[in-house]
Amino acid sequence: MHALLGQPRRLALLAYLAAATPLGFHRRDSLLALFWPELDQEHARAALRQALHVVRDALGAGAVTSRGDEEIGLDYDQVSCDVVAFERAVDREQFREALDLYRGDLLEGFFISDAPEFERWLETERTRLREAAGRAARDLMGRAEARGNFTTAVQWPVGRRSSCRTTKRCCAASSRCSTAMATVRARSRPMRSSPRGLPADYDADPPLRRGR
């Protein structure tokens, strides 16, 4: 992976292959339009071949697979992706696991020039994943509140206004209001670049990991 860190377009290609939905294979032509729209067909295909070669060197020869001559994908038996694991946990309503995996906006602060379609895809995915994390946090908060576990409930803030309303409800019903409020004060500090009120410890992009 270190070889890719200084090559943002190739890193972006890997991120797209790993996280784009539906998971699976992607046509070469669609990848050319996303990552090399300024190049003619011949030079764009050459750039894609070179990028895939670098990705294979970084992750292992079998990490990138193909279906026929025109479709490219990743072998998820060899490559794991936190975005995929996060979405599976949300689908299974394993919300604690999901929020442990969610580390902030996808590829936060990442940018490649001359790739507007990729940038649009990335912004859409950031919003979609952020909203899924918010729903997961609200669900955990609601479940904790329903059990009368008010201290736990305030550990899942999803937005300053909604968190304050829930915190006031929790404290009004709890005999341990001072404990709950201490928790809220600790979590009410500026949230740096955390997405829309999620805790500040979710502030790094979800990494792509080499499979075990």
Statement to judge: residues 199 and 134 lie in one domain: yes
Q: How many domains does the chain have?
A: 2
Residue 52: which of 88, 14, 85 has the closest Cα? 14
Q: What is the pLDDT of residue 201?
A: 36
Q: Please check the confidence at residue 20 and state whether its pLDDT lies above 60.
A: yes
Q: Please check the confidence at residue 156 and state whether its pLDDT lies above 90.
A: no
Statement to judge: residues 45 and 116 lie in one domain: no
Burial 22-50 (b: 16+ CB within 10 A, else e): ebebbebeebbebbbeeeeeeebbebbee
Statement to judge: residues 56 and 109 lie in one domain: no
Q: What is the pLDDT of residue 147?
A: 78
Q: Assign residue 11 the CATH number of its domain.
A: 1.10.10.10
Statement to judge: residues 116 and 190 lie in one domain: yes
Q: pLDDT per residue over 160-174, tens digit each?
A: 334 444 444 444 444
Residue with the two structure tokens 């689908």: 91
Statement to judge: residues 118 and 181 lie in one domain: yes
Q: What is the pLDDT of residue 151?
A: 60
Q: What is the pLDDT of residue 173?
A: 42
Question: 180 lies in which domain range?
Answer: 101-210
